[in-house]
Structure 1
Amino acid sequence: MNTPRDPSPSRRVRAKGDGTVYQRKDGRWEAAGYVLAPGNTRKRVRVYGSTRTEALAKLTEKIASSNRGVPVPSAQGSVSAYLTYWLEAVAVHQLRENTHTRYTACVNQYLVPGLGKKKLAKLTAKDVRTWLNQVRTTCQCCARGIDASRTQPRCCAAGACCSKRLSPLTLAYIHSVLKSALEHAVREEEITRNVARNVRTGTPRPRRFEPLTADEARQFLAAVRNDRLFALYELALRAGLRKGELLGLQWEDLDLQTGTASIRRTLQRTQTGGLTALPTKTRASERRIALPSECIHSFKEHREVQEGEEGEREAAADDWRDNGLVFSTPAGGPIDPANLNRSFRSLLDRAGLRRIRFHDLRHSTATLLLEQGVELVVVKELLGHAHIGVTATVYAHVRLRLQRNAIDLLSHALQVSNEATGQHDDRDESPLRAATIR
């Protein structure tokens, strides 16, 4: 009696649900099986390998992921196609217009040229890391042809590369945009994981700023005392409001009787609407703050200049634009943030102070408050930060200075205590030697 032979590896019977494995005519091995697809459906997938073991391992991995409830990626297009879809159909409804404009520039200038041709479903963390390392070491004049488009080239096109590389902050921003796009692809079950999250770019150093000291702040307020926007600069320095919040402030937001102001909107220039009043930066930015008594007096003077008998409204006559803005042009229109920056720089020069950004007035407010011993949570509420961790991180240098002051105070207290009890400090004497224990 002849014993039947075992079936060949390619013909071996597999259990139900394990899929099939067979050798193709070209010599490669193909494995196919049903896995979970988006929408709680089943989909037949095929994988390939040079050996039966390799093809079977790939199929087993996909079936195992399917059994854990992870659907197979449905993305068939390129990274470029998905980024375009994400910007036009998703991000445009979730981001402010200026933020969406920056995202679009980031995608067009960096992400699409670097990763756009890769398949979205096949993008790996190694691809992202390799590309980021390349961008980090590439001169942007060379990569983007900036110098070649100049009338008189002075860099790469002239044979003298300036090695203009992206800053760590810009690299981190590009990385964050890619992470946001891929995170949405995961939520839509286009891909199974966000590979950009597995890439570490390092924590960039925060942007350095030089806030005004108390003496410089007093010098600045004295220099701008006769400026028509003195109330704006005083409020910026005493309350730490953002530039857009100051320019978007309306008279109906002020309650000079109780001395409070409601921050509800911000004025920004957008590409489509020009100067537009938008909601505050975050939900925490919409807040109610107490006004300093000096600011209340300045507001009353400012309103008299704007609404008085011989004020700006009367001078403008029919040209007056009634927008209800506290700080406006002499004709009542909104003030362009760029024009405010230029006026601010001129005032700094007139006051004999160093050049700082307008936003550094806000930093000056927080720094001076913390140095006066104001609680961090109070500063956070005044500035309208979403989380107290933001306040603590931005003003870490102030906290270190306060720690030094606290340590010095403690040292002084201990020294006074020693003198009162008649004890002397034995730190300069030789320490006692302990007996040897055998």
Structure 2
Amino acid sequence: MTTPDTNPTTGSRRVRANGDGTVYQRKDGRWEAAGYVLATGDTRKRVSVYGTTRKDALAKLTEKTAASNRGVPVVSAQGSLGAYLTYWLENVAVHQLRENTHTRYAAVVHQYLIPGLGRKKIAKLAAKDVRTWLNELRTVCQCCARGIDARRKPDAQTDRRPRCCALGKCCGKHLSPLTLAYLHSVLKSALEHAVREEEIPRNVARNVRTGTPRPRRFEPLTTDEARTFLFAVQGHRLHALFELALRTGLRKGELLGLRWEDLNLTASTASIRRTLQRTSTGGLTTLPTKTVSSERRIALPAPCLRSLRDHRDKQTRERKKAGRNWKESGHVFTRPDGHPIEPATLTRHFKALLRRAGLRQIRFHDLRHSTATLLLEQGVELVVIKEILGHAHIGVTATVYAHVRLRLQRDAIDLLGRALHNPAETTTQPDDGDDPPLCAAHVR
């Protein structure tokens, strides 16, 4: 069956083909386009989209029809939130997120969002429902609620043995404020896309305030500890990597993804273009940098240049020794057979070095924090540190290292206090000139 349609420019009537849908102007002035598209359960449903002009409404309907022709179902607002979250993960987020980020989002959806809010109708979801769900996560022991401890298999070596709900004694394992904020952000992202697809009129999760969680605490190395660490890594096979990490603040993936073509030892620079990560499907994979700002060029200090040249000579000897077993990957830091280094393997080497040096156990990422902290304590401007670390915005640098800036402010105030101490306590000899000294206190 065909539907007559009027051309707004010529006034003539034309016939739309079967399945093209209809488009007309509403009494409120908006244009509405309606047509049948693929829905969940291999069914077809009629959907309506709206626009300020006829062309805008038709473009939106064409977009939904094209997605339907590709086999992507349109989720109805009458459906459950669980169904929409599954659709969002499989058809939207998978194309917009990195694989590891998508894996974390999927774990959040299946472990927390669907069990807590999945049965709610997405069109009837209210801010009160989201707030109630977050409050329950904040107060209920997740080990008991999800039966984590009951499913744990006893293992004497890893100490994986029942100690909570399986024994009838709650361990009180509650989610941290940072985890709650992350769960909330995933829900907001999913609902925001539902708003863009005009499935719901507003994002109710944005109306729920969870508060600003305290930033994750980190323990950077002090100046003396940094010297001890640099002394401990001398002679280690990956000496150049650890020295580069502490002196430049590169991320673990950026260090492992570094290639010789990225280094210009003559100009003393390094171009950061990629990162090495292990993904669930691709294994050890080279990916683009974390953000656009992370792709940068940094200056290499003289000690790093010397250690990198020594490392290149050592790698040449390893290549000759390996012979046919050598795997040419082009990476600066590799295993003795040329294969890329696993991030987990690098972490084990780092922990062993800390124990051998007698230093406290910290994360490998804390070397990056140590670089920024030591630079701040030396008076380096935040904008320079932002460029070195590759932060997207200077606000990230200022927020993460706010405690360091506070300590520097305290030192500056103490310095001013020593300069403004009681002049009567200081005995000074007047100058030979006619004018008396400007201040009787010594200013450091």
Equivalence for 1:141: 143
Q: Does 1:288 align with 2:280?
A: no
2-structure distance, mates of 1:250, 1:176: 35
Matched, 1:347 2:339: no
> Aligned partners of 1:169, 1:393: CA distance in 2, in Å?
15
Q: Is the 8 A contact 1:129 1:199 kept in 2?
A: yes
**Which of 88, 91, 105 lines up with 2:90 in the alignment?**
88
Cα contact 1:220–1:348 (8 A) shared by 2: yes
Q: CA separation in 1, counterparts of 2:151 and 2:440? A: 78
Change (3 A) 1:188 1:316: same
Tell me the residue number matched to 1:365.
Answer: 371
Instruction: Give 1:159 deviation, angstroms.
Output: 1.1
C-alpha distance in 2 between matches for 1:37 and 1:143: 52
SS in 2 for 1:148: helix
> Partner amino acid for 2:272?
I
Q: Name the CA distance, whole Å, in 1 between partners of 2:301 and 2:165.
A: 55
Give me the whole-angstrom Cα distance separating, in 1, the residues matched to 2:175 and 2:82: 22
Q: Distance in 2 between matches of 1:394 and 1:40?
A: 48
Letter in 2 for 1:324: G
Partners of 2:231 and 2:389 in 1: how far apart?
A: 24
Query: Any conservation in 2 of the 1:37–1:74 contact (CA below 8 Å)?
Result: no
1:40 corresponds in structure 2 to 32
Deviation track 1:230-261 (CA, whole Å, cap 9, x = no partner) reads 00000000000000000000000000010000
Q: Distance in 2 between the 1:291 and 1:40 partners? A: 60
Q: Tell me which residue corresponds to 1:223.
A: 232
Shift of 1:409: 2.9
Match of 1:4 in 2: none
Q: Name the amino acid aligned to 1:373.
A: G
Q: Quick check: 1:128–1:196 contact (8 Å CA) kept in 2? A: yes
Distance 1:413 1:154, change over 3 A: closer
Q: State the SS of the aligned residue for 1:112.
A: helix
Q: What TM-score do you get using the length of structure 2 for normalisation?
A: 0.78
Inter-partner Cα distance in structure 1 for 2:233 and 2:199? 57
Deviations 1:82-110 (A, max 9, x none): 00111111101110000000000000000
User: TM-score, normalised to structure 1's length?
Assistant: 0.79
Q: Distance in 1 between matches of 2:257 and 2:87?
A: 33
Partner of residue 333 from structure 1, selected from 339, 361, 368: 339
C-alpha separation between the residues in 1 aligned to 2:314 and 2:414? 49
Q: Does 1:264 align with 2:273?
A: yes
The amino acid that maps onto 2:133 is W
Q: Deviations over 1:300-328 (max 9, x none)?
A: 00000001xxx100111101010000000
Change (3 A) 1:333 1:422: closer
2:102 aligns with: 100
Report the alpha carbon displacement of residue 172 of structure 1 after superposing the two structures with TM: 0.5
Asked if residue 200 in structure 1 is aligned to residue 209 in structure 2, the reply is yes
Higher Cα radius of gyration: 1
Cα 1:251/1:206, change in 2 over 3 Å: same
Q: CA RMSD in A?
A: 2.5
Question: Once structures 1 and 2 are overlaid, which stretch shifts more, 399-408 or 180-189?
Answer: 399-408
Q: Note the C-alpha offset of 1:410.
A: 2.9
Corresponding residue number in structure 2 for 1:7 = none
Q: Deviations over 1:54-90 (max 9, x none)?
A: xxxxxxxxxxxx9xxxx9x961211001001111111
Find 1:313's aligned residue among 319, 322, 325.
319
Is the alpha carbon distance of 1:36 and 1:118 closer, same or farther for their aligned partners in structure 2, counting shifts above 3 Å? farther
What displacement does 1:163 show? 1.2
* Contact 1:210-1:360 within 8 A present in 2 as well: yes
CA distance in 2, matches of 1:223, 1:187: 54
C-alpha separation in 1, matches of 2:256 and 2:30: 48
User: Which of these residues, 389, 402, 418, is aligned with residue 383 of structure 1?
Assistant: 389
**Aligned pair count?**
363
1:176 Cα offset (Å)? 0.3
Corresponding residue for 1:429?
none
Change (3 A) 1:297 1:37: farther
Gaps of 5+ in 1: 1-33, 44-65, 425-438
Cα drift, residue 268 of structure 1: 0.3
Tell me the CA shift for residue 40 of structure 1. 2.9
Q: CA deviation at 1:39?
A: 7.4
1:40 counterpart SS class: strand
Secondary structure of 1:288's aligned partner:
strand
Q: Corresponding residue for 2:249?
A: 240
> For residues 194 and 232 of structure 1, what CA distance do their matches in structure 2 show?
46
Alignment correspondent of 2:122: 120
Query: What is the percentage of aligned positions where both structures have the same residue?
Result: 72
Shift of 1:145: 1.2
Displacement after TM superposition at 1:174 (Å): 0.3
2:158 — aligned with what?
none
